[in-house]
Amino acid sequence: MNALDRENRYIRKWRPAATRGDSMAMSNVAAAYRILGKSRLAAKWYKRAADSGDGDAKTDWGYCLQHGGGVRKDERAAERTYRSAIASECITEYDREEAMYHLAVLLLGRQSASSRRAATKLLRVANADGDYPQAQALLLIVESAEVRNICNCRRHL
């Protein structure tokens, strides 16, 4: 079975539960669509899961908004979504750190002193336990040099 067949099988498996409102199933369907390169469908399902209160999905939905993955790029909405994910009780620690990291990248793009301070704080918290190497690497750059156009688009949305 190739990857295309596998992802389509996952969609068939998880879509019934997703349409009934299961946020984990919604996220699984969204991830399968993302892997298949169907970014609009992925964004649609990430948004549904995020709207249901799933903090992990809020991180993914924020990413779609930040980078224009399947939706119109909207950095203000991405910032609100990341902040909501960070504050969520229904989120894994890794996704909370990922939301902090992406929010920091977004803030650094504004190139203001206050945004840079806020981003630095987020990066320190995201890597407080030393398990988020991207945050650590970006923190080293921020603390050592002037930051200009930062892009760490890792999900190929």
Domain ranges across the chain: 3-144
Q: What is the pLDDT of residues 76-116, one digit of tens each?
A: 999 999 999 999 999 999 999 999 999 999 999 988 889 99
- Reported pTM: 0.89
Confidence at 148, pLDDT banded by 50, 70, 90:
low
Token pair recorded at residue 145:
């040099």
Dist CA 77 CA 155 (whole Å): 19
CATH superfamily of 3-144: Tetratricopeptide repeat domain (1.25.40.10)
- Angle at which helix 93-108 crosses helix 113-126, to 10 degrees, equals 160
